Amino acid sequence: MSKHSILVGLSFGLTSGVITTLGLMVGVSSAAGSRVAVIGAILTIAVADAFSDALGIHISEESENTHTAKEIWIATISTFLSKFFFALTFIVPVLLLALDDAILVSVFWGLAILSLMSYMLARQQNIAPWRVIAEHLIIALGVIFSTHYIGLWIADIFAS
């Protein structure tokens, strides 16, 4: 059952790390156009949201009333570590590239990670991988596009 707990934490942390970090990066970049703001957002997500997601998984696993305390803590810790690690990977392009290029590289990196995880999940469940990948990428792209336009709207309303 520990394998299940690790998989729960890894799959949730990875997915949340990619989607949340990309959404925040794209939105902040569109609103502020500031490398410092994007780096601050990534670090904030890596810490605060990793703790939040870990607690969410902890409580969710407890509410099932089927897991041992050890399994719950394994899921909690693996959620935190995977969210923290995957969120931090997005800081590398921001440090090395111009902000617009870094955002583009980050989007491709995030979609690649999400596609790989979706493929592995589909194979494990004997489901057609393209359906699972497409479903997850559509959701991710929805987040990316909506946060981009929200960022532009914020810049338009509040920038002077």
pLDDT tens, the chain, 160 aa long: 588 888 888 888 899 999 999 999 999 999 999 999 999 999 999 999 999 999 999 999 999 989 899 999 999 999 999 999 999 999 999 999 999 999 999 999 999 999 999 999 999 999 999 999 999 999 999 999 999 999 999 999 997 6
53-85 as b/e: b if 16+ CB within 10 A: bbeebbeebeeeeebeeebbbbbbbbbbebbbe
pTM: 0.90
Confidence at residue 1, expressed as pLDDT on a 0 to 100 scale? 55
- Provide the 10 A C-beta neighbour count for residue 108: 11
Q: What are the Cα distances from residue 8, in Å, to 15, 75, 93?
A: 11, 6, 28
8 A C-beta contact, residue 35 and residue 156: no
Closest by CA position to 34, among listed 92, 89, 103, 120: 103
Confidence at residue 146, expressed as pLDDT on a 0 to 100 scale? 97
Domain residues of the chain, as ranges?
2-158
Closest by CA position to 127, among listed 119, 135, 115, 116: 119
Confidence at residue 2, expressed as pLDDT on a 0 to 100 scale? 83
Confidence at residue 159, expressed as pLDDT on a 0 to 100 scale? 79
Q: What are the Cα distances from residue 77, in Å, to 10, 48, 55, 83, 131?
A: 9, 14, 9, 10, 30
Closest by CA position to 33, among listed 152, 153, 158, 119: 152
DSSP character at residue 159: -
Query: What's the rounded Cα separation, in Å, for the pair 2 and 6?
Result: 6
